[in-house]
């Protein structure tokens, strides 16, 4: 009976760890996309040019 309780606790812990990993991965992707869009469409020319040069450095076509 103690073993079943222990296994259930491990499973619940594993599920919550997986949810935490998914939540953190989604948070990082949303933050990255927001930063990319903010800098790509920035009205300040220096920020826009830096983003443009970075895209070229990563061989990402932009025009």
In the chain, domain spans = 2-57
**pLDDT at res. 5:** 47
pTM score, whole prediction: 0.50
**pLDDT at res. 10:** 54
**pLDDT at res. 51:** 74
> Contact 50/39 with Cβ under 8 angstroms?
yes
pLDDT tens by residue, 36-62: 888 777 778 887 787 778 778 887 676
- The Cα–Cα gap between 59 and 15 comes to 39
Helix axes 45-57 and 2-40, enclosed angle (nearest 10): 120
Chain-wide mean pLDDT for the chain?
76
């Amino acid at each position: 009976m103690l073993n079943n309780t222990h296994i259930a606790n491990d499973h619940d812990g594993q599920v919550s760890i997986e949810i935490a990993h998914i939540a953190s991965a989604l948070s990082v992707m949303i933050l990255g996309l927001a930063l990319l869009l903010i800098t790509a469409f920035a009205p300040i020319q220096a920020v826009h040019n830096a983003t443009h040069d970075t895209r070229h450095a990563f061989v990402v076509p932009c025009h």
